[in-house]
Amino acid sequence: MEDCLAHGRAYFLREEAQAALGLSSEALSMALMRQAGKNRLTSPRHGFYLILRPEDRNIGAPDPARWIDPLMKYLQLDYRIALLRAAAFHGASHQASMVFQVIVPKQLRGFEIGRHRLEFVYQNATAFAEVNRADWLNSLKSDAGFAKVAGIELTLFDCVRYFHRAGGINGVAQIVKDLGAQARAQRLAKLAAHYENSSVRRLGYLLERMRHVQQADALRPFVQKAKTAVPLDPSVKSLIEGLPGLHEKVTRWRLILNETIEADA
């Protein structure tokens, strides 16, 4: 373990340890259990181990940003850090996320490790491959190397598409307010072709509402493809009669305002 840390690597694989130590499978299991009992090791997935530095031991595991890339390589699965964690990475001031969210093209169960909670969000493999491109991603640097994180434009689309995992429609509105000015209009238009038209319209409306006009205008041509108006907040199952403004239709985005939007200054 010390050799791994000396080379800036705070993880190892079971097979690597067995080859290096020359132990039987049973003896290795016992050795790993002893180290885990001393709070020197933890394991987010069978066969993949994290070495706990003294500063990591109180919280039970290092920040997932330091080991998500080697873990996903071990699982042979592409990924991107997304949603709230990506928004925080790009500077969304209200996104002190308690969950580390990763979008993947396969159904994976989330887990807790120490005080960290990882959530895997499934995206259809075809759609994932279309958008998880190097030019639409950024790199999150840590002492262990680099991890893939959604770029600003991809973060905005992911948050609107998976709004229920990004603080609801008002949480997304706050992210749009914080990050929208940094988004490249041309890149938004290119990405829009790979997302549901309803998500594109919701993002366009929120960008316009938060006064990011240039970015909103890049998405306006997609409104013409819409056949029907959809609710701004699809989680609201029924419109409440008598509440002012909640039945208002925004024709320019073909949306029904069934939720009031609030965002902090």
Annotated domain spans of the chain = 2-62, 68-227
Contact 99, 163 (CB under 8 A): no
Residue 3 has pLDDT above 70, yes or no: no
Contact 230, 249 (CB under 8 A): no
Q: Please determine, for residue 245, whether its predicted confidence score (pLDDT) is greater than 50.
A: no
- The pLDDT score that the predictor gives to residue 20 is 86
Residue 236 has pLDDT above 90, yes or no: no
**Confidence at residue 198, expressed as pLDDT on a 0 to 100 scale:** 97
CA distance 161 to 48: 32
Task: Judge whether residue 205 has pLDDT over 90.
Answer: yes
Give the pLDDT confidence of 96-116 residue by residue, as tens digits. 667 999 999 999 999 999 999
Task: Please give the C-alpha separations between residue 179 and each of 70, 73, 92, 147, 198, in angstroms, as whole numbers.
Answer: 29, 30, 6, 21, 20
pLDDT band, residue 93 (cuts 50/70/90): confident
Angle subtended by helix axes 152-161 and 185-192, to nearest 10: 40
Fold of 2-62: Arc Repressor Mutant, subunit A (1.10.10)
- Model pTM? 0.91
Q: Taking a C-beta distance cutoff of 8 angstroms, is the pair 264, 94 a contact?
A: yes
pLDDT of residue 243: 52
Residue 7 has pLDDT above 80, yes or no: no
